[in-house]
Amino acid sequence: MTSYPTPAPVPVRPESEGGYKLLALFLGLVVCVMGFFGLWLALSAQHASDDASKAALSAAQPAAAAPGDMSGGSATTAAGRPTPSYAGAAPADAAALAAAHAAVPARLPAAPPGPVAAVSLDISHGVVSVAPGIRYDAWTFGGKVPGPVIHVRQGQLVKVTLRNASPMPHSVDFHAARVAPNVAFADVAPGASKTFSFRATDPGVFMYHCGTAPAFVHIANGMYGAIVVEPANLPKADVEYVLVSSEWYLNKPGDKGAASLDMVKAEQMTPDWVTWNGYAAQYKTHPLTAMPGQTVRFWVVDAGPSLNTEFHVVGTILDRAWLNADVRDAPQHGIQTAVVPAGGGGVFDVKIDTPGIYPFVSHSFASVMLGEVGLLNVGHVAGTMSH
């Protein structure tokens, strides 16, 4: 076995040993600096995370409410003020005033003969009655609310003349018309007039209203009415009535002085009164009439500006119902309640054989409580109904 001699150790020079020590010290300093920098980054990230969490929590909380503000800091409509309801407000002699009130005629007027139906609408502002003893400073077509019922025959040329005697611009928008609205429905300045025409090609019952911006305000103040475009092939009716549903939003009771529009109530759709043809419960005090066995046709428009009408006749069924006033197509039969949307119409026939008193209402009974109720007296019987 061969033996190898152990190699002698390499001697280390003093200057080399000092270099190693300096290198070790430098590396130690580098490690310390990097450790401190890493700790600083970690703390900064934690602080940033905490700040983000606080910001998110703050954003999720409502803003601080002002003294006396019960909204919790959330957004509110219009002036943000609560408004009292004047529903049912009436003077002591309300019953006598209701009896003395001349109910708005609901009978469908005759359509004009000939190929042209001339329609004149005078625009004015004035005080109207909306319930017994309750007055409102309204904007009107023809000095009344709703405006005059317009009855034309399908195919007639409707020639409309507007005369504006009010202190502000107004216009008219016919839902029955197929015309360029920027031309036909343009504003009419105070003291001015304009004329435009459209062909009544579409049968049914339609709303007309002021379209001047904001139309919401002009409608809520009373500028609306109904136009009936009658086709030649509709089944015969013995008695025909036009009913326009609408809401009133009052800024005061209206018994001591005329009320005006309360925009907060209007935006929140909380009316003081809801009416047939502009006056609360007028056809309860002055019922519409028919004889047993007659077919009674109701041409119904909902002028809104916001609430729908759920048309219902108590004690009978709607024998024929042209929903959405679609009289081109066959009607539906045996309908208990028919929805008439705000801005829409409907045509409804009832045939009642038994004498009696039959209320007609919106089956949204909050509206009944606010005045949208009338009576159809079949056979001229005595008495009344409580609806």
Map residue 201 onto helix, strand or coil.
coil
Query: Please, are residues 50 and 93 in contact by the beta-carbon 8 Å criterion?
Result: no
pLDDT for position 301: 98
Three-state secondary structure call for residue 13: coil
Q: How far apart are CA 243 and CA 149, in angstroms?
A: 10
Q: How many CB atoms lie within 10 A of CB 171?
A: 22
Q: What would the pLDDT profile of 328-359 be if each residue is shown by its tens digit?
A: 999 999 999 999 999 999 999 999 999 999 99
Amino acid sitting at position 297 = R
Average pLDDT, the chain: 85
The pLDDT of residue 146 is 98
Residue ranges per structural domain of the chain: 95-378
Angle (CA) 127-188-171 rounded to 5° is 65
* Listed range (3-12, 31-40, 51-60) with the worst mean pLDDT: 51-60
Mean pLDDT of 26-31: 50
Q: On the CB side of 232, how many CA atoms lie within 13 Å of its CA?
A: 4
pLDDT digit string, tens, across residues 136-159: 999 999 999 999 999 999 999 999
Q: According to the model, what pLDDT value does residue 384 have?
A: 81
- C-alpha–C-alpha distance, residues 57 and 67, integer Å: 23
pLDDT at 383: 83
List Cα–Cα distances, 348 to 280, 324, 333, in angstroms: 22, 11, 10
What dotted CATH number matches 95-378? 2.60.40.420
Q: Is the pLDDT of residue 46 over 70?
A: no
Has residue 91 got a pLDDT over 90? yes
Q: How far is CA 276 from CA 5, 121, 147, 284, 291, in A?
A: 126, 21, 13, 10, 22
Could you tell me the end-to-end alpha-carbon distance of the chain, in angstroms, rounded to an integer?
Answer: 130
The span from the CA of 210 to the CA of 138, in Å, is: 13
pLDDT at residue 1 in the model: 45
What per-residue confidence (pLDDT) applies to 385? 74
- pLDDT tens sequence across 153-200: 999 999 999 999 999 999 999 999 999 999 999 999 999 999 999 999
Q: Residues near 59 by Cβ (< 8 Å), separated by ≥ 6?
A: none
